[in-house]
Structure 1
Amino acid sequence: MPAFSKEDVPADWRNLLGDYFDSSAWQDLEQNLQAAHDIDTNHIQPEPSNFFKALKLTPVKAVKVVILGQDPYHSPGLAQGLAFSIPATIPTNSRAFPSSLRNISKALALEGFGQLPNGDLDAWAEQGVLLLNTALSVKLGEAGSHANLGWKSLIDRLISTLAAQRPQLVWMLWGGHAQSKLPLIESGKDQLILQSSHPSGLGVYKTDRPFLEPGAKASCGHFSKANEWLKKLGQKEIVWVDKTHQTELFS
């Protein structure tokens, strides 16, 4: 792995983070991540060039919606630097297609947007949806394995500063981990905060704010609520599903 430095972070996000890069927390992250790669460089997901893909595809001024994930997919060939997103080449009917994306697609269909044509969410990021994991790397096969390398200090600073400097954003907080960031977001002005259970596995139904209603009869409505908020602000709504390229996810 080449030297890991603040230059890997896009300039606009570096400006947002300010003096964070002078902190011991940043230095610790640099050192810990370099050490992890020196030990096992072939088993780190995603590729280092994609650690900050979410920030590269969604500039600070373009952010409209923030969806928080936890850490990258730790199965081979899935992580690509955006929360919940996977390569478009993975078939929607494949066992490798994550349950979280399957349930996200169900929610979109229930809200009238249609099903995802594939799991690549680049188009969301390019429209202003910041798909941000709270750890930006993981060891292959070991969920949460890089959570203690120092990513928390960086992502917490990014979330709190973004909320403080950018009013009227939409935040989708799915599951307890994402919702633990609520105090950082509430310090901002006029933020729309949407909360539900996490979309993965059976947990999708198991809270008093389910992502999907049991039997997938209804969704939490987050995608519709986000667009209603954007429309009220006079902003362009998110095209959640490009129906010109749709395929059937559930057959």
Structure 2
Amino acid sequence: MKEVKAATDLELLVNKIDSTGYICRLKQSVKTCKICNIKHFISHDWFTDLEKEFKDDYFETLCTKLHGKVFFPKVENIFTFTYFFPLADTKVVILGQDPYHNLNQAMGLAFSVPNNVKIPPSLKNIFQELKNDILDFVIPKHGNLEAWAKQGVLLLNDVLTVEQHKPGSHSDLGWEIFTKAILSKINETCQNVVFIFWGNYARSKSKYVNKHKHLVLEAAHPSPFSAYKFFGCKHFSKTNEYLVKNGKSPINWNL
């Protein structure tokens, strides 16, 4: 049987040879491609806020480029950061660059790794700064930051996917347009949010934030290469001071 190469070919042939197992399986795969249905993996309220982005040409191109690549996190985990609170309830934004690029690390939350996964060096340094900054902080034995997300901390990477073992490999797909829309939406619709930018890449995104309306905290990246300039920034205590000052509950940074 001649191989069917595209969905359009499939639709032309399916009525004639639908009884063959090959065609039935191919038809099902076309319908269930996770990348083609990527918008179904974002929470409903965040989708409503960002619906325009999913309809834009750049996003269609982005999805096309994802096909045929091994990337992290899994498609169903790309938008994990949207599952914990509505965009309008954002209290803190911590912006990363792109996801971890090794197997089983990326989980859709910037800097976070699943339970039972070795804590990456940058996150170890974040915990060390917390220990020095917050009196009762206890350094955890895991790197899962979901407890922060549950309190309104948006752990957002500027680029939402990465190829295996290739850091920065998806920086040209268009994700930065999508995440710019997120930052801009929070900037416009929310009040008194703390935006935390670590490293030159993240700091370049501070231009999307109204500093008269929100608090912007900037420092070096917590990676081992620049951690000596990161330590002492006291961003966690400064965040809580600002939140309390503006009538919001502080973040419990303990995990």
Q: Map Cα deviations across residues 178-201 of structure 1 (whole Å, 9 max, x no partner).
A: 111111113x75110000000011
Query: Take 1:132 and 1:58, find their aligned partners in 2: how far apart are those partners?
Result: 13
Quick one: which amino acid aligns to residue 250 of structure 2?
E
Aligned-residue offset at 1:238: 0.6
Q: Which runs of 5+ in 1 are unaligned?
A: 91-95, 213-218, 243-251
With over 3 angstroms needed to count, the CA separation of the structure-2 counterparts of 1:60 and 1:189, relative to structure 1, is: farther
- Secondary structure (helix, strand or coil) at the match of 1:164 reads helix
Q: Work out which of the residue numbers 222, 226, 230 in structure 2 matches 1:211.
A: 230
* Structure 1 Cα separation of the partners of residues 177 and 162 of structure 2: 16
Matched, 1:220 2:233: yes
Residue 19, structure 1, aligned to residue 86, structure 2: no
Say if 2:104 is the partner of 1:80: no
CA deviation vs aligned residue, 1:207-244 (integer Å, no higher than 9, x gap): xxx211xxxxxx211000111111112211111014xx
Residue type of the alignment partner of 1:62: D
Partners of 2:173 and 2:87 in 1: CA distance: 25
* TM-score using structure 1 length: 0.82
Q: Does 1:52 align with 2:79?
A: yes
Q: What is the aligned partner in structure 2 of residue 93 from structure 1? A: none
User: Deviation at 1:18?
Assistant: 4.7
Which residue of structure 1 lines up, in the alignment, with residue 116 of structure 2?
89
Tell me the distance in 1 between the aligned counterparts of 2:51 and 2:191. 19
SS, match of residue 181 in structure 1: helix
Match of 2:124 among 98, 102, 107: 102
Highest CA radius of gyration, 1 or 2?
2
Structure 1 residue ranges (4+ consecutive) displaced by more than 4 angstroms after TM superposition: none
- The answer as to whether partners of 1:4 and 1:30 remain within 8 angstroms in 2 is no
Deviation at residue 158 of structure 1 after TM alignment: 1.1
2:61 corresponds, among 28, 45, 54, to: 28
Q: Which amino acid aligns with 1:72?
A: P
CA distance in 2, matches of 1:61, 1:116: 30
Root mean square deviation, CA, Å = 1.6
Alignment partner of 1:230 is 2:243: yes
2:119 is aligned with what amino acid? F
Q: Which amino acid aligns with 1:20?
A: E
Partner Cα separation in structure 2 for residue 221 and residue 12 of structure 1 = 33
State yes or no: 1:158 paired with 2:182. Answer: yes
Give 5+ residue unaligned stretches, structure 2. Answer: 1-32
Normalising by structure 2, what TM-score?
0.81
- CA deviation digits over 1:54-113, x for unaligned, max 9? 1112321321000000111012221111100011213xxxxx421111100101100122
Q: How does 1:162-201 map to 2 (within 5 A)?
A: 162-186=186-210, 190-201=213-224
CA drift of 1:161 comes to 1.5
- 1: CA distance, partners of 2:109 / 2:95: 10
Corresponding residue pairs, total: 220
SS at match of 1:201: coil
* Structure 1: distance between partners of 2:103 and 2:38: 26
- Percent sequence identity is 37
